[in-house]
Structure 1
Amino acid sequence: MNITLCTLFERNYHFGVAALANSLIAAGYTGELWVGYRGALPGWIVDSPAFDRVTGRLQAAPGLVLCMLELDTPLHFTYYKPTFIREMLEKHAPQSDVVAYIDPDIVVKCDWPALTGWFTEDGISLAEDVNWCFPARHPKRLLWARFFEPHGATPRRGLDRYYNAGFIAVSRAHLEFLDLWRRLCDLVVAYNEHAKELKAGGSAALFHSTDQDALNFALTVCEAPLNTAGPEAMDFAPGGYYLSHAVGSVKPWHGGHIRQALRGMPPSAASKWYYHFANAPIKAYSDGELAKRQLSLKIAAAIGRVYKRA
């Protein structure tokens, strides 16, 4: 089975791309990581002697090549995921049986052979979200069904779990699912008046988690087999060993760990895993800057052991 990996970033999320790539190298993955981007590329890419400006390829390690793709879309990247995955399957990696999209605020904790057990040629691979319990007849699901019905999208199955859109692997057999997800995203964008943010309105809003809500409704409309793991697979619950996902607007590379800890918010497991992979073999920081950040993280973790918001 041929598996291709991809991600999307803009602005300072390049720090996350570096950590993701380093985690894949540590996991033993060999192949390409396709990186769609908007804006300027960071110095750790363009100043690397291994970067080919003509092809946009960076030989990050003997077994891993980063393939940079400049994108021209007005959409928030969270809505662009289904289009990007489909472009991988049809244009950039036509040899692939499965394309896995991974957000740049995720790192891989397990070895590559363990992760490949998640992928199949007949299914869609997903992990449950922070708030994963979402019954099939939850009030919001009923409202979604009423909203999408006039647009020809009717649920064919009930699901009791809510899945995170930061990691999704889609096999070539389910290209139509990507079209469905993209179409539902377009409807959500229109409903939210061309939303520019990841979240829209409060938790009670019809579409608060935007593309992720569209994804979860699309999963009830299609009948593809779902290869799923629980919330622990992204470190949203204890006991996971696959991925670590730094959710929220404040990312590990934003720093301020001590300040956050003094507010009762100590470093998350995902922040700790981020720094585990932040700077080797790809170096996104100077050694001095990384040492300062790691010291800040340790102090913040110590504060968190004695003071935590209730």
Structure 2
Amino acid sequence: MIVATTLAENKYFLGLSALLNSMVANGKYIDKIVVGYREELPNWIPALSPSKNGLSCVLNSGIELELIEMNGDLHMVHEKPKWFRYFTDVLEPDADEYFFFDSDIVIVNRMNFFGEWVRQGVAICEDVNYSMNRNHPIRKQWIKFANEEGLNVKSEIDWYYNSGFLGWTKNTKSFLSDWEKCFEILAKRSGDMKQFRVNNRTHPVLSANQDSLNLAAMITALPVSTIGPEAMGFKSGMRLMSHPIGPKPWNKNYIGDFLKGYQPRVSDLHYWESINGSEFAPESAILVSYKKFICKLLRGLGRFYQRNGSS
């Protein structure tokens, strides 16, 4: 069985719609998706029935959707290590392959590649700011913190990874324990965990969840298989996902941004192309057509009028 998970609250449910529609459009592959959520569920989700752990339904594609209300008051990104352990060990202990996608990601390539990838090792992507060599002073501090807690570095790494995607199997799921240990170490040094970020990169911890993922990749004995920032669309190359940096597509004022010299991003267009699809259609067809038209028009005009490049 192949399962995936994501986390959603507030307007990120719109991202969930685009994510699931894009998964199916690119070959389905997964059997079930489990959504950890907060706040009210949107009214465009199909009728749900009680399940063992929450609420569920079967989507048009045959994928089972299960929604489970989350406890805890940390910022949602800092819930990831604990949620992944719960998802793997309690909710879906018999699955063969596991995937996590941030709920603002859109899939833009064949889904079965993710299965080919995760069978090579724990699957991770490099971040947009992907360069952090093994001699970097921040990385040296992480090593010191780990050593103080009895953890030893097994791999010297020169790249920084993004926690918006992770893939693992029943044979590599102990990586989640490595991550949770590292998270506990860095969380003590991160500041207010109810915020996305407190410090800047000159501090030992910028983002407890993402920094600890990177430390886990250094201390784990498991095989890790990584792809560069192109996997998330942060640079040209083998794009597998479209992951917007900064303002989310559903919040952007495209015309206002364009007048300031910023054209719509490729990730904006991918979002509007996926928001309505075979599984969900939360937005009106008129609005979606308008947004796609505006994105394409302004990207075309942006060849002549822009402040900088877009991702």
TM-score (norm 1): 0.91
Cα RMSD (Å)? 1.8
CA contact (8 A) 1:10 1:38 kept: yes
Q: Work out which of the residue numbers 204, 219, 227 in structure 2 matches 1:221.
A: 219
2:95 and 2:16 mapped to 1: Cα distance?
Answer: 22
1:214 and 1:70 mapped to 2: Cα distance?
Answer: 25
| 4+ residue segments displaced more than 4 Å | none
Q: Are residues 1:194 and 2:192 paired?
A: yes
Written as runs of structure 1 = structure 2, the 5 A alignment for 1:99-178 is 99-120=98-119, 123-178=121-176
Letter aligned with residue 112 of structure 1: M
Q: Which residue of 2 aligns with 1:97?
A: 96
Q: Which residue of 2 aligns with 1:43?
A: 43
* Structure 1 unmatched ranges of 5 or more: none
Q: Residue by residue, what CA displacement relative to the aligned partner does 1:70-105 show, whole Å, maximum 9, x if unpaired?
A: 111112221222222222222221221221111011
Letter aligned with residue 134 of structure 1: M
1:193 and 1:210 mapped to 2: Cα distance?
Answer: 9
CA contact (8 A) 2:73 2:194 kept: no
SS across alignment from 1:170:
strand
1:208 and 1:303 mapped to 2: Cα distance?
Answer: 36
Letter aligned with residue 256 of structure 2: R
Q: Work out which of the residue numbers 191, 207, 210 in structure 1 matches 2:208.
A: 210
2:76 and 2:159 mapped to 1: Cα distance?
Answer: 24
The more displaced of 126-135 and 148-157 is: 148-157
1:240 and 1:19 mapped to 2: Cα distance?
Answer: 20
TM-score (norm 2): 0.91
Corresponding residue pairs, total: 303
1:261 and 1:211 mapped to 2: Cα distance?
Answer: 33
The more displaced of 69-78 and 167-176 is: 167-176
* Structure 2 unmatched ranges of 5 or more: none
Q: Which residue of 1 aligns with 2:12?
A: 13
2:144 and 2:112 mapped to 1: Cα distance?
Answer: 42
SS across alignment from 2:44:
helix
Structure 1 residue 268, shift from structure 2 partner: 1.5
Q: Are residues 1:52 and 2:48 paired?
A: yes
1:260 and 1:186 mapped to 2: Cα distance?
Answer: 39
> Which structure has the highest helix share of the two?
1
1:117 and 1:62 mapped to 2: Cα distance?
Answer: 22
Letter aligned with residue 248 of structure 2: K
Letter aligned with residue 32 of structure 2: E
Letter aligned with residue 207 of structure 1: V
Q: Which residue of 2 aligns with 1:308?
A: 306
Letter aligned with residue 42 of structure 1: P
Letter aligned with residue 309 of structure 1: R
SS across alignment from 1:174:
coil
2:85 and 2:114 mapped to 1: Cα distance?
Answer: 21
Q: Which residue of 1 aligns with 2:2?
A: 3
CA contact (8 A) 1:234 1:245 kept: yes
Q: Residue by residue, what CA displacement relative to the aligned partner does 1:131-176 show, whole Å, maximum 9, x if unpaired?
A: 2122112121112112332222331220111111101012223343
1:181 and 1:222 mapped to 2: Cα distance?
Answer: 9
